Structure 1
Amino acid sequence: MRAVLSLVLLLLLALPAAAQVPRGLGDSDPVDFKGKPPSRYPVHGIDVARFQPQVDWTQARKAGIDFAFIKATEGGDFLDPMFKSHWRGAGRARILRGAYHFFYFCRPAADQARWFIRNVPKTRGMLPPVLDMEWNPFSPTCTKRPHGSVVRREAQIFLDMIERHYGQRPILYTTPEFYRQTDIGKLKNTEFWVRSTAKTPDRAYPKQSWHFWQYSSTGIVPGIEGDVDLNAFGGSKRQWKRWVAARQNQ
């Protein structure tokens, strides 16, 4: 019996820390973030698109989801087919929601901003819009990787147009490779949402301030079938309330 208990203890110690994600949520492929788990942050959310066709938003909120970023548009002519349903569902469940745009490097930024504005309603209480900028090597129509100066100029055009329309400065989402290759962190007056599913943001984005951390693409959330992206707000609950009060659409 003692030998069996010892073996069980060794197996438990070999597992990634159980507190990598908050209680109520899970991860099908957890990562050990070396003593700095996402669970140390009290505010968590998800981002969704057409790949999550069925979401029980009320159940997700009860499990601990505080916010959701919902894919709205891509390029200058694609509207995510689940956007309207997700937008309504999150709103009915009283989950704070924002919409994001996936940037397409073969279309002028101004065209893309106008497309986003055409499809995303200016809604009281909405979180700031998000510009998702990352390389897309799997695109069937555009795998261009413009120089960083071009990327930053296009981003500025999009951010400025969206801010004028919604009265909120958009958040910018990015990935480690894109961040390094384009110097997108040089943009002024911009809040960042960073993806880092293998390292903590301080290691993946040295010296870069951030507001949101996408820490898993294999999250398990009650009310959602299959894996979903998990995110944390980089502050306390009090800081979250202050940020929301300052950044919500009035």
Structure 2
Amino acid sequence: MKIRATLAILLLSALASCGGNDKPAPIGAAVAPNFQDAKPVNFNSPTPARYRVHGIDAARFQTSINWSSARRNGVNFAFLKATEGGDLLDPMFQDHWRGAGQAGVARGAYHFYYFCTSPEVQAKWFIKNVPRSKGMLPPVLDMEWNPFSPTCAHRRPDASVVQDEMRRWLKIVEAHYGQRTIIYTTPRFYEENKLASFKGYEYWLRTTAKTPREAFPGQSWRFWQYSATGLIDGIKGEVDLNAFSGTPADWSAWLATRTLK
């Protein structure tokens, strides 16, 4: 039997009345997380519990999400996998996009980058499949090595090439959505491609055993993916858990400047 450990975070007193209300909280109203974890980690300080605004990311593996229930249980935001490379569309993207929007979850889309397709083709594919919706979060560029692709698994360009391709993709996508992209990455990819020198972007960092401070020394972050084994009422199976770097007030202020108008 899996161990289920409640994520201990103080409830926001101003939102206490939301718990029994079927109407979803509006976007920007931070609901404290009522999450559990199948494989909890004892992080050094600062732990995920220090942060009061949490959310998820979801893809085809999350085949059933009751978004209203997830919202009531503290899913304030969701980054949804949209595309891979130049021709793959996540089969659950459209359902997740619609459901999150209807439930008042701040939603954004991410693209998983391939090194066997030009950044221009990949950028256009993302734009083709992700609607330019009012209130959406900034687009996300997911940069990590892909060991599972039959065609791209062993293609790992030098850091200078990686950064050049990133800039080309970012330029096209940012021109379309009118927002600066968020970059998602892993410790290994970050180090091997010298992303500490890739300035001017907010980062979404994956580190499920160490804090961002330990795994990415000196790197500021906006979102922290701290678990791949989250358990949330309304979501079938396990899901990635993420924390926002600031307070509920910071979250509202960030949304005011970083969502599509």
Quick one: which amino acid aligns to residue 57 of structure 1? W
Confirm or deny that 1:68 pairs with 2:78.
yes
- The residue correspondences of 1:171-186 to structure 2 (distance < 5 A) are 171-186=182-197
Confirm or deny that 1:249 pairs with 2:260.
yes
Tell me if the contact between 2:4 and 2:36 (Cα under 8 Å) persists in the aligned partners: no
Partner in structure 2 of residue 118 of structure 1 = 128
Structure 1: how far apart are the matches of 2:253 and 2:7?
26
Confirm or deny that 1:191 pairs with 2:176.
no
**SS of corresponding position for 2:141:** strand
- TM superposition shift of 1:171: 0.3
Tell me if the contact between 2:5 and 2:37 (Cα under 8 Å) persists in the aligned partners: no
Aligned equivalent of 1:53, options 63, 79, 98: 63
Structure 1: how far apart are the matches of 2:77 and 2:94?
16
**SS of corresponding position for 1:152:** helix
Structure 2: how far apart are the matches of 1:203 and 1:135?
21
Aligned equivalent of 1:219, options 220, 230, 251: 230
Partner in structure 2 of residue 81 of structure 1 = 91
- TM superposition shift of 1:187: 1.7
Confirm or deny that 1:230 pairs with 2:241.
yes
Tell me if the contact between 2:37 and 2:231 (Cα under 8 Å) persists in the aligned partners: yes
**Aligned residue pairs, count:** 236
Tell me if the contact between 2:33 and 2:75 (Cα under 8 Å) persists in the aligned partners: no
Quick one: which amino acid aligns to residue 123 of structure 2? A
Q: Which runs of 4+ in 1 moved over 4 A?
A: 15-23
Partner in structure 2 of residue 9 of structure 1 = none
- TM superposition shift of 1:36: 2.3
Structure 1: how far apart are the matches of 2:86 and 2:187?
25
Higher helix share: 1
Change (3 A) 1:122 1:23: closer
Tell me if the contact between 1:122 and 1:166 (Cα under 8 Å) persists in the aligned partners: yes
| Unpaired stretches in structure 1, ≥5 consecutive residues | 1-14
Change (3 A) 1:20 1:151: farther
Structure 1: how far apart are the matches of 2:91 and 2:73?
26
Partner in structure 2 of residue 43 of structure 1 = 53
- TM superposition shift of 1:17: 8.2
Structure 2: how far apart are the matches of 1:185 and 1:247?
22
Structure 1: how far apart are the matches of 2:8 and 2:47?
5
Aligned equivalent of 1:131, options 141, 144, 151: 141
Structure 1: how far apart are the matches of 2:4 and 2:104?
33
Tell me if the contact between 1:17 and 1:32 (Cα under 8 Å) persists in the aligned partners: no
Change (3 A) 1:61 1:202: same
Higher mean alpha-carbon deviation, 196-205 vs 184-193, is at: 184-193
Higher mean alpha-carbon deviation, 183-192 vs 21-30, is at: 21-30
Change (3 A) 1:226 1:17: closer
1:24-79 Cα offsets, whole Å, 9 max, x none, are 10000000002422011010010000000110000000101100000000000001
Partner in structure 2 of residue 107 of structure 1 = 117
> What RMSD in Å do the two structures reach over aligned CA positions?
1.6
